[in-house]
A and B are shown apart, each in its own frame.
Chain A
Amino acid sequence: MQRFSIFSLVRNSLSYHKNWQEHWRSPEPKPEYDVVVIGAGGHGLATAYYLAKEHGVKNVCVLDKGWLGGGNTGRNTTIIRSNYLQDESTAIYELARSLYEGLSHELNYNVMFSPRGLINVCVTEHEMRAFQRIAFANKLAGIESRMISPGEIQKLVPIIDSSSNARYPLLGGLYQPRGGTARHDAIAWGYARGADNLGVDIVQNCAVTGIMRNRGKVVGVQTQKGEIRAKKVAFVVAGNTSVLTDMAGFRVPLESVSLQALVSEPIKPILDVVVMAGTVHGYVSQSDKGELVIGGGADGYNNYAQRGSITQWEHTVRALVEMFPAFGRLKMMRHWGGIVDMTGDRSPIIGMTPVKDLYLNCGWGTGGFKSIPGSGFVFADTIANGRPHPIAAPFGMDRFREGRLIDESSAAGVAH
């Protein structure tokens, strides 16, 4: 693998950057693999990378029906935080967040992790109490996170409307100083390049159309490029999980809905923290290009169309314009949707399935970009060893049957 450094940049500039190696190969699938990962989003690619890197499992193939990173990984608003309420959640999200801190070095790929700080703004008394509770839970979990006053928010976000007659009164906020954003595509590309370099085959434009089973055990997959046999198979396909589990003959506690995002025209730097506002359903950050990246709530009905209703983002934009009056004059440039897989407790599903040697990583819903490195790390360990990694263990699908929910739905109140 050609490494990126200041020297290789200079050297390649002399040939007008025409001689860079391809980041990954485009191999034809082999007839058999030790592990076939379905879904080349961040979670699938990170899983393959850590399988090869941490467990020496290199005879691995990642299949995607489209291009790698073209699912939710390439469609999200890239918010990274670990200030969740439940211990199980903080364990996995903080593992992921801390891996993000060193990821550019780990992958020799600039993932543009920007721990610029993140504020959950409170505009009701109820939110103040809920977030205070989260701040205490975070303190117990050893996560740097605290409540801040309206004055502190004003200092961090001078453009926020903090006047006494603001539509949404600024009461305080939950602040995670090392929360932030990263470049969504770079996460997919960096893990893909790293995995490919360790021998993993990434096969794009190759949809899985069937799951081959023999006496309760998975033995391979049917694809657009023929049958591929596998000792183990992992489903990491976000909103399309139910489609694959239908093929494998079992049902899952998921509903697929559309979550939308939009970006404004690029402007000069105006906002250097991430602001989330749960009650009004909006969150916003400014990208390095200068665009405001805006997200809101999910549509209220099942959807596989990768687009949603205008009312959803109208609702979000309406609230954000009240909160940041300066945004009122901005033009919006693009909007899009991604299909997110929602669980009843808004926590993911990681682990085994009723089919032997078939593993499942899904249910990240509206908030799984932030968890990609941690999820890949514990899921690779789970697959390699045939038992759940301790951090993944609470997220098994059986928790719904056993009533062991990891309830983040009432805690967060907003999608991101």
Chain B
Amino acid sequence: MLLITCPVCNVTADETEFHCGGEAHIKRPASSDPANVSERAQYEYLYVRNNPRGMHREMWLCSRGCGKWFYAMRDTLTLQFHAFYGITDSPPPLPDGNGTGSGS
């Protein structure tokens, strides 16, 4: 059972009070240049994920609490959270010696 702290309402609760939205900080290509979205960019946006064995930046929804989305940094091997941060905060740096896989 994951214990999660929402950085918006500061509630700490079981994962059942939250919903995971997958990898964070993925940019939708159509938002920056709607007229020029390549097949590859759209494919990567929709389907390709970093999927690291280690530190992962991801989105969570405080679904049974304040209803807001926020970000977290979690180790997918130990299941330990290393940071919770708001959607306007800049991502915290990775702890030493930890990659997030290719691409970011």
Contact = CB atoms under 8 A, between A and B. Distances in A.
B76 A252 contact: no
A149 interface: no
B49 interface: yes
A304 interface: yes
A252 B48 contact: yes
A255 B43 contact: no
A254 B53 CA distance: 12
B58 A311 contact: no
A401 B43 contact: yes
B72 to A, nearest CB: 10
B20 interface: yes
Interface in A247-264: 249-256
Interface string A229-254: 00000000000101100100111111
B43 to A, nearest CB: 4
Given A242-B52, A251-B102, A302 B76 contact: yes
Nearest to A308: B79
Contact of B79 (A249, A250, A305, A402): A305
A256 B56 CA distance: 12
B16 interface: yes
Interface string A4-33: 000000000000000000000000000000
Interface string A390-413: 000000000011100000000000
B58 A302 contact: yes
Interface in B1-42: 1-2, 14-16, 19-20, 22-23, 39-40
Given A301-B58, A302-B58, A304-B76, A251 B19 contact: no
Nearest to A402: B39
A310 interface: yes
A344 interface: yes
Contacts of B50: 242, 251
A300 interface: yes
A353 interface: no
A303 B79 contact: yes
A243 B76 CA distance: 12
| 6 closest residue pairs by CB, A with B | A253-B47, A242-B51, A401-B43, A301-B20, A304-B53, A400-B47
14 contacts: A242-B49, A242-B50, A250-B102, A251-B102, A253-B43, A301-B2, A301-B74, A302-B23, A305-B78, A311-B14, A311-B15, A311-B16, A400-B43, A401-B39
Interface of B: 1-2, 14-16, 19-20, 22-23, 39-40, 43-44, 46-53, 56, 58, 74, 76-79, 101-103
